[in-house]
């Protein structure tokens, strides 16, 4: 049933309409003569306050407002992968074909194409008893993934009919399910309201790391499948590059990338690169596993608010099929600011820094939708949603509300640092302020994969970095001269860890992705070098002599050695370390003197 | 700036101004004023001003008056609603013209006959229609070309401070910028907001002397012009730029100066509306508002032209965390940051390279674009210069004696880098090769084993000591 009222007031993205008694909270409405999409956010008797997902310029009081009786929902089914949508799931490429290069308002295009046929292979048979989440059949959505057509939540019963193998559009009925009284027609096209988490059977503990090929992440601050991470940093610290690297290389099955209130050229960059890039796990085009949501900063602010929900609902849908999904939200601050902007227009009581008082609970609700789950369905499949949210704190000050409220719920912090970025130390993840609560969780995974000493090596190198930061404070005051040799060695080693391990070039063809195996071997060599160096220093060799070894330059250039040939390089460097230190301790007195300068 | 004159017959006129605060008036008894609608305000003296509806209720419209509310009264002032949103007439004949901040000619030139009327707020470019910018621009300035390459379609602001030579640098870029292998230079759309007569004159004279004015459209809202007009100047200028770029195929360089003045005007209107203030009194929607300006830079697939933006900001009190540079930096594709210290040392351009950044550099450099060693050389220069700068601070405390030989080299490197690489004359134009060769000359101060950001094969080819034998 639809109700029609009239526009009473317009202020930016917020419109009030009267005559809407009977309309429901969060229902989608069509506003004005151009039928712009909006959502009811406040009800006061017959007056509804609506946030409008399109530009409201030109709307006048008196124009009609019509309810749809439906909450804001996304269309789910085959055809999501490889597509770029705006914040309310309008396919941007289709819109471009229809109206040209600029986005005009009042454009409507469904999220999934109605004219395309998909090859459906049935799994369930006539007469089967099915429950929500059970598989009806499969469709090859892209080269990489089979799309599993599931019984939607809320439907259980006996299959009366199931489509035979063949090509169907998303609107065609592929199965009919009869429960006690009703006959349900199930299509590949399903809807789900974005603000409501999709149901699961059970939450599970995460177990496996989400390997990204980024050394500082995988080795020092690991994330797990089903985990949550925050990536705060001032502008220019490289949030987006890190997010793009993760989207390219993490070993998830499906990527949902939400560009929320960020730059148009960044989305263009993803669209340019991803189709040509190869997923290191499957060897297929990256675009085949990716859904993009692009609501850039100059697109309507309310749709920016919706974009993260659109993204996570799509992520949950693929999780329900039994896939590991990773969602990148860049940037959650823009989402929070959109909330603040709408809240301000609603004249709500502001909380900290003008953000609405419900900021913390909205953030928490969002991150809670991540996790590793046993999904619906009698088969007991597991799937996961990992969420990585960028945060853009004003002035780079992490004490602001969005960063702080995010840190309360996420388990990993990758803190980006302006000073590191200024020195072009990328990724500019500060190793002293970042943390991961999953290091213990993933220990077993590394131990099983020929990396038995992973935890110990990691701790040892982290200890060097920690010690360096303390020593540098002293050096700042009194200079390096006064330090004992073993402390000067710590400085040499820390420099080596930074240059030879932590710095990783996203733009270098080899260095952009470092396999877990190579990471471990690199780590092993760094530890080996340090242990030998300590012995040498204890035997009277100077730290400067250690720093002058030719093999150190080789260690610093390890990042550029291809993953495939690294085991050979490893063996060769290992040998050279042994020889170098043997030489050093043998001729230490003469060498030490010349190098001290 | 004009509302579409053909539509004037549709206007509805009211003499019911009930409230005047700052640049805003409230008009009551209005039926169906559209959000964003253009109004014409006639004050008792007969003077006419343009305004725009900021909020519309069933019986009241809040109107922002360009030209200010001086002499507006609540009895005789009349307000006519035009039924139109704000538009500007666009034509190729705008090239070579000087206009005020709302788009009215002030150069006494011939009447402009528009080819089309365009809504000044524009529409967002569909992200899937964007062509990723990759054509690097040779500005002839080593600090930019070598370290923070600008590409066609990028938005790269200059973060400056009062008294620093941002105007000179912007003029130098406008004068020298070329895309490699193309003879054609850029057309310039220059939008001044609240700048002094002197500064506006500097640009106009500069464009005139170099012949650039013929290929430029100049919008000037001076410091003594109505503050509120500043709010539409960038939108008007960018609407013209979009027409030149995406309809006519020009490569347009848009210089916006000074965005800080623009943001202050935004704050003034927000305060007059009694909105909940955000950081330092600026409105919470300033990010969205600025994005509506900066995101109008770019390229579109299948279209010839492009819009490259160089917004200039004078940072209040040199505080880079101030909301204006902060929000700008989050939207633009990098920033060129000026340093007062370098300026005091007499170095032009006084670009502080460490906080400066070009996000689109990576796609615009390398083999076939600039030179194969560009990325690695840039990384190594950054690492070495950063180390030199760090040591400089250290030496200030503990003295140079405590440094090792290598560290001393880095100190000298940082000094020479500033004097020989960064510094150049205002009329000096260096090619990419000249910039990179200068970089190698500096890097050759350091032993090869220090150049860990550069692959051995590139060192082999470019390290000067090697090639000299």
What would the pLDDT profile of B272-324 be if each residue is shown by its tens digit?
Answer: 888 878 788 898 889 999 999 999 999 999 999 999 999 999 999 999 999 99
Q: Are the beta carbons of B124 and A507 separated by less than 8 Å?
A: no
Chain B contact for A57, CB < 8 A?
yes
Chain A (539-568) residues lying within 8 Å, Cβ to Cβ, of chain B: 544, 550, 553, 556-557, 560
Q: Are the beta carbons of A9 and B122 separated by less than 8 Å?
A: no
Nearest to A96 among B128, B275, B394 (CB): B128
Tens-place pLDDT, residues B83-126? 888 999 999 999 999 999 999 999 999 999 999 999 998 999 99
Q: Are the beta carbons of A422 and B386 separated by less than 8 Å?
A: yes
Chain B contact for A84, CB < 8 A?
yes
B378 CA to chain A: closest CA distance, Å?
10
A420 CA to chain B: closest CA distance, Å?
10
User: Closest by alpha carbon to A390, among A328, A309, A434?
Assistant: A328
Chain A contact for B329, CB < 8 A?
yes
B70 CA to chain A: closest CA distance, Å?
25
At the second CATH level, the architecture of A454-591 is Orthogonal Bundle (1.10)
Chain B contact for A589, CB < 8 A?
no
Chain A contact for B395, CB < 8 A?
no
Nearest to B455 among A423, A476, A560 (CB): A560
Q: Which residues in chain B touch residue A353, judged by CB atoms under 8 angstroms apart?
A: 278-279
Residue of B nearest to A8 (CA): B58
Q: Are the beta carbons of A102 and B121 separated by less than 8 Å?
A: no
User: Closest by alpha carbon to B73, among B55, B102, B47?
Assistant: B47
Chain A (15-54) residues lying within 8 Å, Cβ to Cβ, of chain B: none
Tens-place pLDDT, residues B214-242? 999 999 999 988 888 899 999 999 999 99
A293 CA to chain B: closest CA distance, Å?
10
Q: Which residues of chain A have pLDDT under 50?
A: 589-597
* pLDDT higher than threshold 50 for residue B9: no
Domain A202-439 matching CATH 3.60.21.10: the answer reads no
CA distance B259 to B277: 19
Pick the residue with more confidence: B7 or B122? B122
Q: Which residues in chain B touch residue A55, judged by CB atoms under 8 angstroms apart?
A: 121
Chain B (166-185) residues lying within 8 Å, Cβ to Cβ, of chain A: none
Residue of B nearest to A596 (CA): B404
Chain A contact for B318, CB < 8 A?
no
| Residues in contact with A99: Cβ distance below 8 Å, sequence separation at least 6, in sequence order | A107
Chain A (189-208) residues lying within 8 Å, Cβ to Cβ, of chain B: none
B55 CA to chain A: closest CA distance, Å?
5
Q: Are the beta carbons of A57 and B383 separated by less than 8 Å?
A: no
Choose the CATH number for A4-71 among 3.40.930.10, 2.40.30.20, 1.10.3720.10, 3.50.50.60: 2.40.30.20
Q: Which residues in chain B touch residue A560, judged by CB atoms under 8 angstroms apart?
A: 455
Tens-place pLDDT, residues B187-221? 999 999 999 989 999 999 999 998 889 999 999 99
Chain A contact for B316, CB < 8 A?
no
3-state secondary structure chain B: CECCHHHHHHCEEECCEEEEECCEEEEECCCCCCCCEEEEEECCCCCEEEEEEEEEECCEEEEEECCCCCCCCCCCCEEEEEEEECEEEECHHHCCCEEECCCCECCCCCCCCCCEEEECCCCCECHHHECCCCCEEECCCHHHHCCCCEECCCECCEEECCCCCHHHHHHHHHHHCEECCCCCECEEEEEEEEECHHHHHHHHHHHHHCCHHHHEEEEEEECCCCHHHHHCHHHHHHHHHHHHHHHCCCEEEEEEECHHHHHHHHHHHHHHCCCCECHHHCECCHHHHHHHHHCCCEEECCCCCEEEEEEEEECHHHCCCCHHHHHHHHHCCEEEEECHHHHHCCCCCCECCCCCEECCHHHHCCCCCCCCCHHHHHHHHHHHHHHHHHHHHHHHHHCHHHCCHHHHHHHHHHHHHHHHHHCCCCCCCCCHHHHHHHHHHHHCCCCHHHCCCCCHHHHHHHCHHHHCC
Q: Are the beta carbons of A423 and B383 separated by less than 8 Å?
A: yes
CA distance A6 to A62: 5
Q: What is the pLDDT of residue A531?
A: 97
Chain A contact for B304, CB < 8 A?
no
* pLDDT higher than threshold 60 for residue B8: no
* pLDDT higher than threshold 70 for residue B466: no
Chain B contact for A424, CB < 8 A?
yes
* pLDDT higher than threshold 50 for residue B417: yes
Chain B contact for A349, CB < 8 A?
no
Residue of A nearest to B57 (CA): A9
Q: Are the beta carbons of B128 and A422 separated by less than 8 Å?
A: no
Q: Are the beta carbons of A354 and B284 separated by less than 8 Å?
A: yes
Nearest to B383 among A269, A424, A553 (CB): A424
In A298-358, where does DSSP find H-type helix?
301-320, 332-345
Chain B (19-58) residues lying within 8 Å, Cβ to Cβ, of chain A: 31-37, 54-58
* pLDDT higher than threshold 80 for residue B5: no
Q: What is the pLDDT of residue B182?
A: 77
Q: Are the beta carbons of B398 and A478 separated by less than 8 Å?
A: yes
Pick the residue with more confidence: A518 or B4? A518
Chain A contact for B9, CB < 8 A?
no
Interface contacts (A, B; CB < 8 Å) = 225
CA distance A194 to A70: 11
User: Closest by alpha carbon to A347, among A113, A583, A42?
Assistant: A42
Q: Where are the domains of chain A?
A: 4-71, 113-188, 202-439, 454-591
* pLDDT higher than threshold 50 for residue B54: yes
Chain B (397-456) residues lying within 8 Å, Cβ to Cβ, of chain A: 397-399, 402-405, 449, 452, 455-456
Q: Which residues in chain A touch residue B357, judged by CB atoms under 8 angstroms apart?
A: 236, 421
Rounded percentage of chain A residues whose pLDDT exceeds 90: 81
For the domain made up of A113-188, give the CATH fold: OB fold (Dihydrolipoamide Acetyltransferase, E2P) (2.40.50)
pLDDT tier for residue B11 given thresholds of 50, 70 and 90: low
Residue of A nearest to B131 (CA): A268
Q: What is the pLDDT of residue B402?
A: 78
Parallel, antiparallel, or unpaired for β B178-179 and B136-138?
antiparallel
Nearest to A337 among B32, B132, B287 (CB): B287
**B34, B85 contact by CB (below 8 A):** yes
Nearest to A264 among B122, B127, B397 (CB): B127
User: Closest by alpha carbon to B326, among A14, A445, A396, A592?
Assistant: A396
Q: Are the beta carbons of A58 and B85 separated by less than 8 Å?
A: yes
Nearest to A9 among B58, B126, B382 (CB): B58
Tens-place pLDDT, residues A376-404? 999 999 999 999 999 999 988 999 999 99
Residue of B nearest to A301 (CA): B288
* pLDDT higher than threshold 70 for residue B10: no
Mean pLDDT score of chain B, rounded to an integer? Answer: 91
Chain A contact for B10, CB < 8 A?
no
């Amino acid at each position: 049933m639809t109700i029609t009222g009239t526009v009473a007031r317009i202020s930016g993205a917020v419109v009030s309409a009267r005559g809407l008694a009977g309309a429901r909270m969060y229902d989608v409405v069509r506003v004005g003569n151009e039928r712009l999409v909006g959502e009811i956010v406040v009800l006061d008797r017959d007056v509804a306050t609506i946030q409008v997902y399109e530009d409201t310029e030109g709307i006048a009081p008196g124009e009609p407002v019509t309810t749809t009786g439906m909450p804001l929902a996304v269309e789910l089914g085959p055809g999501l992968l490889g597509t770029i949508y705006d914040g309310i799931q309008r396919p941007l490429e289709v819109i471009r074909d229809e109206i040209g290069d600029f986005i005009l308002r009042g454009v409507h295009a469904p999220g999934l194409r109605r004219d395309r046929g998909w090859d459906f292979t049935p799994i369930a048979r006539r007469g089967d008893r099915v429950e929500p989440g059970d598989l009806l059949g499969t469709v090859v959505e892209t080269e990489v993934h089979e799309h599993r057509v599931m019984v939607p939540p809320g439907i259980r019963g006996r299959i009366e009919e199931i489509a035979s193998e063949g090509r169907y559009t998303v609107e065609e009925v592929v199965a009919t399910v009869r429960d006690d009284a009703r006959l349900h027609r199930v299509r590949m096209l399903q809807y789900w309201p974005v603000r409501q988490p999709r149901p699961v059977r059970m939450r599970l503990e995460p177990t496996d790391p989400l390997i990204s090929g980024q050394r500082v992440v995988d080795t020092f601050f690991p994330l797990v499948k089903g985990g949550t991470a925050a990536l705060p940093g001032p502008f220019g610290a490289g949030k987006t590059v890190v997010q793009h690297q993760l989207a390219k290389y993490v070993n998830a099955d499906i990527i949902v990338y939400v560009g929320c209130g960020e730059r148009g050229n960044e989305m263009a960059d993803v669209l340019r690169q991803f189709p040509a890039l190869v997923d290191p796990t499957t060897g297929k085009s990256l675009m085949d596993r990716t859904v993009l949501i692009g609501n850039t900063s100059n697109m309507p602010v309310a749709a920016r608010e919706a974009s993260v929900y659109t993204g996570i609902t799509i992520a949950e849908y693929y999780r329900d099929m039994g896939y590991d999904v990773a969602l990148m939200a860049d940037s959650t601050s823009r989402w929070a600011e959109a909330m603040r902007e709408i809240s301000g227009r609603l004249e709500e009581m502001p909380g900290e820094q003008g953000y609405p008082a419900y900021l913390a609970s909205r953030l928490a609700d969002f991150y809670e939708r991540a996790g590793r789950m046993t999904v619906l369905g009698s088969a007991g499949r597991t799937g996961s949603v990992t969420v990585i949210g960028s945060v853009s704190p004003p002035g780079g000050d992490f004490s602001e509300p969005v960063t702080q409220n995010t840190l309360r719920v996420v388990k990993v912090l990758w803190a980006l640092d302006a000073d590191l970025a200024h020195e072009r130390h990328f990724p500019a993840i500060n190793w002293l302020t970042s943390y991961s609560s999953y290091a213990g969780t993933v220990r077993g995974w590394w131990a099983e994969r020929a990396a038995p000493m992973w935890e110990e090596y990691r701790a040892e190198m982290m200890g060097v970095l920690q010690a360096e930061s303390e020593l540098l404070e002293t050096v700042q005051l009194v200079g390096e001269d006064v330090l004992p040799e073993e402390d000067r060695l710590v400085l040499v080693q820390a420099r080596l860890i930074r240059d030879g391990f932590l710095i990783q070039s996203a733009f270098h063809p080899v260095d952009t992705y470092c396999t877990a195996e190579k990471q471990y071997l690199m780590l092993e060599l760094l530890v080996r070098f340090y242990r030998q160096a300590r012995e040498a220093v204890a035997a009277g060799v100077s730290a400067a002599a250690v720093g002058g070894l030719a093999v150190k330059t080789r260690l610093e250039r390890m990042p550029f050695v291809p993953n495939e040939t690294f085991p050979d390089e490893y063996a060769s460097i290992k040998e050279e370390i042994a020889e170098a230190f043997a030489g050093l301790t043998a001729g230490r007195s003469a060498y030490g003197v010349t190098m001290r300068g | 700036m004009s509302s579409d004159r053909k539509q004037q017959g549709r206007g509805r006129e009211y003499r019911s101004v009930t409230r005047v605060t700052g640049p805003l008036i409230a008009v009551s008894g209005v039926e169906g004023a559209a959000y964003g609608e253009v109004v014409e305000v006639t004050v008792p003296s007969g003077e006419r001003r343009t305004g725009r509806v900021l909020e519309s209720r069933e019986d009241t419209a809040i109107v922002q008056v360009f030209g200010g509310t001086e002499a507006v009264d609540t009895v005789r002032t009349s307000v006519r609603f035009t039924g139109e949103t704000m538009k500007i007439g666009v034509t190729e004949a705008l090239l070579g013209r000087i206009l005020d901040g709302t788009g009215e000619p002030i150069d006494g030139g011939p009447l402009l006959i528009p080819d089309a009327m365009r809504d000044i707020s524009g529409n967002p470019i569909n992200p899937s229609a964007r062509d990723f910018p990759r054509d690097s621009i040779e500005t002839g300035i080593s600090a930019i070309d070598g370290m923070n390459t600008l590409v066609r379609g990028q938005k790269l602001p200059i973060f400056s401070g009062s008294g620093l030579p941002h105007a000179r640098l912007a003029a130098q870029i406008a004068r020298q910028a070329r895309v490699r292998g193309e003879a054609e230079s850029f057309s310039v759309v220059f939008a001044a907001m609240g700048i002094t007569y002197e500064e506006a004159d500097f640009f106009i004279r500069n464009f005139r002397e170099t012949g650039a004015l013929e290929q430029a459209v100049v919008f000037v809202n001076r410091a003594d012009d109505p503050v509120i007009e500043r709010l539409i100047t960038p939108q008007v200028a960018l609407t013209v730029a979009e027409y030149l770029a995406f309809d006519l195929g020009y490569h347009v360089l848009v210089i916006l100066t000074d965005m800080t003045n623009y943001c202050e005007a935004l704050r003034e209107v927000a305060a007059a509306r009694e909105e909940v203030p955000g950081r330092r009194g600026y409105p919470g929607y300033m990010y969205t508002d600025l994005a509506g300006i900066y995101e109008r830079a770019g390229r579109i697939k299948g279209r010839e032209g492009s819009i490259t933006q160089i917004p200039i900001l004078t940072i209040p009190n040199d505080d880079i965390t101030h909301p204006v540079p902060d929000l700008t930096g989050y939207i633009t594709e990098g920033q060129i940051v000026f340093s007062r210290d370098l300026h005091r040392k007499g170095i032009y351009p006084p670009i502080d390279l460490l906080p400066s950044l070009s996000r689109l550099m990576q796609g615009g450099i390398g083999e076939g674009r600039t030179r194969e060693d560009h990325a690695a050389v840039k990384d190594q220069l950054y690492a070495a210069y950063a180390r030199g700068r760090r040591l400089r601070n250290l030496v200030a405390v503990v003295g140079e004696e405590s440094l090792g030989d290598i560290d001393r080299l880095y100190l000298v490197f940082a000094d020479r880098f500033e004097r020989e690489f960064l510094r150049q004359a205002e009329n000096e134009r260096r090619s990419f090769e000249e910039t990179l060769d200068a970089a190698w000359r500096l890097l050759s101060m350091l032993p090869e084993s220090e150049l860990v950001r550069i692959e051995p094969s590139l060192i082999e080819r470019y390290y000067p000591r090697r090639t000299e034998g």
